[in-house]
């Protein structure tokens, strides 16, 4: 038999990124918006798609899209990079600034794709410290940056899966430390629309700062896969060299521009989800068998006083899917629920109560 080629040695032990996609009645495990895109948006977008010519490549520079995103944040188009979801943005950053002989710093527990994509890109991953309330231990982080000199330092705020919001003072201190060692600070604000402050306020042409955002959450376009980042022009120009040509389809570019004209609808959804998050938090805290952590995102992390994995399985049997983090380091016995519609959240609470009773934890 012919010998099969093996993957790179440094990838043999790598596990793929997995989040269960099960056929259930209530799915609250991947932090998507519970609302469909506005009907008027869909109708206008589909009309514009029908008018395009598809025998030609799309605009390689995504000029109109990047210009429109830049206007939202009072930034020039040259400071905007768009891609197929924020994960492709992260991948392009690591392909550009990571690689063999370089390292990145993450602060676990955090978004798994930061370290996952880094390893795929051949970048060594180091782990920084968080305090007991899941905030970054800033003194330890600054010292670690000085000692290990990472090429890329990742901060997720609001953090996934904890929901923690890092104060801008922490971002500023990390940015200063990163600049001292010639590195790059990447602030992942996938859930930034649920937070009043943004690291974009610290952006300047001389700062080694990248702020990553996505259309997947409050814009209700998770199925379309569109994300972007804001950064100094000298960083964006390097990302443009690395990303594959014509990577953003005509349909995506049209949708990204059009969605921004529905800002009022987006803001209304943000407020609705924040109100529902606070209601859900209060109702979860009434269950004495769990500890609920504060969240600044569209999800809530809570710790079960017992076998969280069994509770998760019992909820799935009732047709309710949330995210199981019970075996993750530092969030042991924790589950995370996406804030859905009121009806979905009520169904989740009912399933959770039943599961706790079934497992004998309540």
Residue pLDDT, tens place only, 260-317: 999 999 999 999 999 999 999 999 999 989 999 999 999 999 999 989 999 999 999 9
CATH hierarchy code of domain 49-261: 3.40.640.10
Any idea where the domains of the chain sit in the sequence?
Answer: 9-37+264-359, 49-261
Residue 1: per-residue pLDDT: 65
Residue 9: the pLDDT is: 81
Say whether 239 sits in a helix, a strand or coil: helix
SS3 227: strand
Instruction: Write down the pLDDT at residue 12.
Output: 77
The answer to whether the bond into 191 is cis (omega within 30° of 0) is no
Q: What pTM was estimated for this model as a whole?
A: 0.95
Report yes or no: 324 and 279 within 8 Å, Cβ to Cβ: no
pLDDT tens, position by position, 317-358: 999 999 999 999 999 999 999 999 999 999 999 999 999 999
From CA 140, how far away is CA 291, in angstroms rounded?
Answer: 27
DSSP class of residue 11 equals G
Question: In sequence order, what DSSP letters do the residues of 318-333 get, joined into one string?
Answer: TTEE-EE-TTSTTSTT
Report the pLDDT value the prediction gives residue 6, as an integer from 0 to 100: 84
Q: How many other CB atoms are there within 10 angstroms of residue 304's CB atom?
A: 24
Q: Considering the domain 9-37+264-359, what is its CATH architecture?
A: Alpha-Beta Complex (3.90)
Q: Low-confidence residues of the chain, pLDDT below 70?
A: 1, 17-19, 362
Q: Rounded to whole angstroms, how far apart are CA atoms 163 and 259?
A: 26
Q: How many CB atoms lie within 10 A of CB 82?
A: 23
The SS3 assignment for 223 reads coil
């Amino acid at each position: 038999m012919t010998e099969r080629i093996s993957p790179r040695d440094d990838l043999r032990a790598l596990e793929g990124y997995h989040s269960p996609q099960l056929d259930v009645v209530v799915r609250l495990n991947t932090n998507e918006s519970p609302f469909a895109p506005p009907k008027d948006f869909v109708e206008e977008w589909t009309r514009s798609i029908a008018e395009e010519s598809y025998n030609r490549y799309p605009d390689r520079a995504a000029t109109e899209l990047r210009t429109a995103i830049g206007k939202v944040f009072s930034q020039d188009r040259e400071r905007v990079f768009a891609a197929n979801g924020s994960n492709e943005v992260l991948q392009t950053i690591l392909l550009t600034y990571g690689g063999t002989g370089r390292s990145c710093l993450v602060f676990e527990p955090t978004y798994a794709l930061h370290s996952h994509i880094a390893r795929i890109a051949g970048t060594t991953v180091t782990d920084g410290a968080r305090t007991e309330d899941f905030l970054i231990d800033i003194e330890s982080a600054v010292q670690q940056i000085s000692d290990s000199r990472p090429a890329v330092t990742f901060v997720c705020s609001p953090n996934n899966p904890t929901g923690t919001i890092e104060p801008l003072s922490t971002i500023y201190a990390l940015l200063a430390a990163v600049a001292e060692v010639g590195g790059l600070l990447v602030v992942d604000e996938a859930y930034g629309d649920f937070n009043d402050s943004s690291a974009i306020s610290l952006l300047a042409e001389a700062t080694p700062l990248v702020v990553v955002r996505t259309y997947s959450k409050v814009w209700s376009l998770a199925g379309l896969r569109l994300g972007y980042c804001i950064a100094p022009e000298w960083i964006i120009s390097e990302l443009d060299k690395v990303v594959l040509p014509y990577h953003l389809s005509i349909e995506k570019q049209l949708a990204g521009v059009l969605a921004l004209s529905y800002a009022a609808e987006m803001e209304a959804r943000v407020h609705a989800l924040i109100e529902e998050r606070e209601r859900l938090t209060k109702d979860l805290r009434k269950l004495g068998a769990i500890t609920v952590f504060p969240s600044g995102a569209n999800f809530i992390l809570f710790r079960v006083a017992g076998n969280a994995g069994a509770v998760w399985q019992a909820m799935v049997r009732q047709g309710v899917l949330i995210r199981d983090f019970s075996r993750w380091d530092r969030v042991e016995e924790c589950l995370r629920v996406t804030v859905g519609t009121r009806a979905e959240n009520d169904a989740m609470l009912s399933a959770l109560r039943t599961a706790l009773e079934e497992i004998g934890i309540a």
